[in-house]
Amino acid sequence: MKPIAETLSALRGQLIPVLDIREPEQAAAVAGVLAGAGATVLELTLRSPQAWRCLDAIRDAYPELVVGVGSVLEESQLRQAAQRKLPFAVSPGLSEQLVRSAQAMHMPLIPGVATASEVLNARLLGLRLVKLFPAELLGGIALLRALAGPLADMQFFPSGGINESNYRDYLAQANVFCVGASWLAPASDIEQSDRDAIRRRAEGAYGSC
Ligand code: 3PG
């Protein structure tokens, strides 16, 4: 079993598409477009009953991609992620119960934080990487800079409001480990099978990463 820090190192410096996909065939096709443009890490949100089948379809078709799950709210989801040996799971908020369950399963969990108190609580639970969510609404880069002083050894995975005009600025922050965003492959394009739009955005973003 790899140490968690080693598993998470695949995420370092990455722009990570956050996906909400409801059809396994769509999932594999969208993952292929994103991988073809240069994405190496994907976050598939668990927002529909079909999400696990979509995840399995992506992993079967593109085993080289690092695919984790997002919108994790329950221990049962962590258990499924651990059974699949997924590289990471992301939750929108910080729950001590979920963090301790993940640690017991050796499942790398990146919980969401919105305040210095939550960052501190995550640190006291032994974590050094947290999701900043919803990043832009919370203060974005100004907040990350403010947190860097007192919480200097914490790293962040901001998401929420990140797009083509600000992702480079986020990735340039010393305490930003990686960023997540749905703008590359929004649910509307996925539903309409508009893969050209997804390809254009992804090629624009990964071509300049
Ligand atoms: C999410 O959980 O939906 C992500 O944080 C993505 O946010 P975005 O849609 O603002 O990119």
35: amino acid identity, one letter: A
pLDDT at 208 > cutoff 80: no
75 is catalytic: no
For 155, the token pair is: 């790293």
* pLDDT interval class at 170 (50, 70, 90): very high
Mean residue pLDDT across the chain: 96
Distance CA 106, CA 20 (A): 25
pTM confidence score: 0.95
> Which of the following is catalytic: 23, 25, 96, 131?
131
For a mutational test of ligand 1's pocket, the pick from 18, 179, 190, i.e. the residue with the most ligand atoms closer than 8 A to its C-beta, is 18
Q: What is the pLDDT of residues 32-56, one digit of tens each?
A: 999 999 999 999 999 999 999 999 9
pLDDT above 90 for 165: yes
Mean pLDDT, range 79-103, rounded to an integer: 98
Which residue ranges have their beta carbon within 6 Å of ligand 1?
18, 70, 133, 159-162, 180-183
Instruction: List pLDDT tens digits, range 97-135.
Output: 999 999 999 999 999 999 999 999 999 999 999 999 999
Reported confidence tier of residue 207, pLDDT bands at 50, 70, 90: confident
- Å from CA of 18 to ligand 1 middle: 7
Q: What is the mean pLDDT of residues 137-153?
A: 98
Apex 88 CA angle, 83 and 94, nearest 5: 105
What sign results for the dihedral spanned by CA atoms 201, 63, 78, 151?
A: negative
pLDDT at 7 over 90: no
Q: Give nearest CA residue, ligand 1 atom 7.
A: 160
The yes-or-no verdict on residue 209 having pLDDT over 60 is no
Residue from 44, 90, 133 to probe ligand 1 pocket by mutation (most atoms less than 8 Å from CB): 133
136 included as an active-site residue? no
Q: What is the pLDDT of residues 9-27, one digit of tens each?
A: 999 999 999 999 999 999 9
Joined tokens for residue 150: 């007192």
| Nearest-10 Cα torsion for 102, 108, 109, 113 | 130
What confidence tier does 1 reach under pLDDT thresholds 50, 70, 90? low
Residue 132's pLDDT is 98
